[in-house]
A and B are shown apart, each in its own frame.
Chain A
Amino acid sequence: MPFNLPGQAGDTLITEAQPRSKTNRHSVLEMAGRYGYILPAIIIVGVITVLPLLNTIIISFQSYKLARPQDREFVGLANYLTLFSEPRVGTAVTNTVIYTLVTVITSLVLGLAIAILIQGLTIGKPLLRAIFVAPMLLTPAVVGVMWRFLLNAQAGIFNYFSSSLGFGNPDWLGTPGLAMFSIIVVDVWQWTPYVFLVMLAGLESLPQEYLEAAHIDGASSWQRFRYIVLPYLTPLLLIATLFRFTWAFRGFDHIYTLTQGGPGNATETLALSVWRTGFVGLDLGVASAISVVMMLVLTIFSLVILRSLSRQLKS
């Protein structure tokens, strides 16, 4: 197996040599010492991530308005029921589904295609690789603002091209359907490089003999892709899907800087709804309920992917 996946054999170490230690290695102190190495990590993640998460779950069952914190009280499922009756939340769910599915699938296909294109090059590879990787670690909020400039209806360079070509001056971010399209383009532009990087690394570790053997046996290039390359890349594709799904589903920075969910609520996803409900509408109870729902969806999706990943690795 060319991939070194975490949690496999070789984790437990039994050796004869031992580090010099002041205490007996079986004593309680020695055990405490071992945990001492990992305790700070557990504490910081526990206090800053896990406790707030539990707190969010508690708040989601309370009526909690930021403007009147003294009226905080337990209301059972009322916040969750609000979600189902609120048309705005329904739109946010639809928007989240469209946005997530389209950006994830597009970036996976595009990233893999570019990786195959670049991998087969004999010259110019390092430079081209750098270009296709570069957008990935740019500040997402700045990327959003930058594209706002590029897509600006009056001064933007895209409308210079589009009007020169006779397509007029579309208002990319101010027209409902077009705004969603633009946001998807920006997200795909920034995160396709991630898929590209991972797929290229996978392709480069694929033993060339496999392909040459298949070639000699008369396999067409499609057959080689379908029966050798794709199965080889499947674990990496699953990991890339997991990451891409997570980033898109909870994505905030691009949408906030491009449209803040507008025009109206045409590009408002669930992540934007949490912000708008909690920090503009000051209703922390309902905002927490939305984020609990988001967390459940992400947890279920991650478990499904991780399960099929471990099945892949066993076979």
Chain B
Amino acid sequence: MKTRGPLRFVRLGFAIILAAIYIFPLYWVVITSFKTYREAFTLPPIFFKLPDFSSYTTYFAQPDIARYLLNSLIATGVSSVLALTIGVMAAYALARIHIPGGESIAFFLLASRFIPPVSTIIPLFLTLRSLQLFDTLIGLILVYMAMNVPYVVWMMRGFFKDIPIEVEEAAWIDGCSRRGGLIRVVLPMVRPGLAATSVLIAVFAWNDFLNALILTSSQAKTLPLSIAAFLGEGGIEWNSLAAAGTAIMMPAIVFTVLMQRHLAQGLTLGAVKG
């Protein structure tokens, strides 16, 4: 219920203060990333600083870090494209084609997402090692695909169901095959849903830590692991750490803000309409 009258300014003021407290940790990390090593320790602390990206350039100039960045980009990009392709096909079929046992299959895919990753990581490690896929990007890509295909299926199935069947029927009458109708007519119509789904699964892969921690050791390491490497050291360069952290999180921040509404739909199994 909307508040009216002077009370609404009290409400707004309270909301602004709360939001400022809530976002402060993130603000502090971003500000620290603009500081020099010395400034990061200065007392009283420096609360405002204009952007200065020297911590970023120093951090990403390290050859190892550049390679981790490349690994993260490849693992995220390739796994997302593949998961999207496989997932969209399955989602379309589960939304539109009568498949005996379709509901059980959808439920099976969904249920697989509730298995704790630590419950499968030991055999995955052993299997990848025996297939010589340990510490390779192929290993990581396979794991990210399995992680994301169920999300694609659940999100996209909802978007497909929202498209009136008459649209597709018209395409069929015009002589399209099922696949032709899907590619030329249906997919362009669900483009916003497709975009939201891609962003969500890319963020999941980009953010992964546990799989990369256990399934890689040096060659296929990803960016989130690079930041954990700071932890063992004494005399941490907080400004570099803040720069690394900000750089890793920035894509997610931007996309989250752009995609808020569809995110709710994707993360409630379609119970909320975007």
Contacts and interface: CB of A to CB of B under 8 A. Distances in A.
Interface residues of B, number: 116
Interface in B207-259: 207, 209-210, 213-214, 224-225, 227-228, 230-231, 236, 238, 241-242, 245, 248-249, 252-253, 255-257
B92 interface: yes
Given A136-B256, A271-B118, A294-B119, A145 B43 contact: no
B112 A49 contact: yes
A287 interface: yes
Contacts of A202: 272
A298 B115 contact: yes
A302 to B, nearest CB: 5
B11 A45 contact: no
Contacts of A212: 1
B12 A124 contact: yes
B23 A131 contact: yes
A198 B40 contact: no
Interface stretch (B48-56, B57-65, B189-197, B263-271): B263-271
A35 interface: yes
A147 B227 CA distance: 13
B98 A41 contact: no
28 contacts: A5-B271, A6-B269, A13-B96, A13-B165, A38-B93, A41-B89, A41-B109, A42-B108, A49-B120, A117-B11, A118-B15, A120-B2, A121-B11, A123-B12, A137-B203, A145-B227, A146-B26, A155-B41, A160-B44, A197-B264, A197-B267, A246-B114, A250-B117, A252-B117, A252-B209, A287-B122, A295-B115, A298-B114
A8 to B, nearest CB: 10
B149 interface: yes
A139 B250 CA distance: 10
A28 interface: no
A56 B260 contact: no
Contact of A11 (B102, B120, B143, B149): B102
B97 interface: yes
Given A132-B22, A138-B249, 8 more contacts: A6-B157, A12-B98, A17-B173, A37-B90, A38-B105, A41-B153, A117-B14, A141-B227
B99 A35 contact: yes
A252 B118 contact: yes
Interface in B19-43: 19, 22-23, 25-26, 28-29, 32, 40-41, 43
Interface string A119-156: 01111100011111111111111110111111000010
A24 interface: no
B231 A148 contact: yes
Given A42-B105, A141-B224, A243-B267, A19 B177 contact: yes
Contact of A145 (B45, B143, B206, B228): B228
Contacts of B2: 120, 122
A205 B267 contact: no
Contacts of B206: 139
Given A48-B145, A49-B146, A53-B119, A18 B8 contact: no
B272 A3 contact: yes
A261 interface: no
Nearest to B203: A137
Given A37-B90, A133-B256, A145-B241, A120 B203 contact: no
A215 interface: yes
Nearest to A55: B123
Interface in B102-137: 102-103, 105-109, 111-112, 114-124, 126-127
A246 B256 CA distance: 21
Interface string B80-106: 000000110110111011110011011
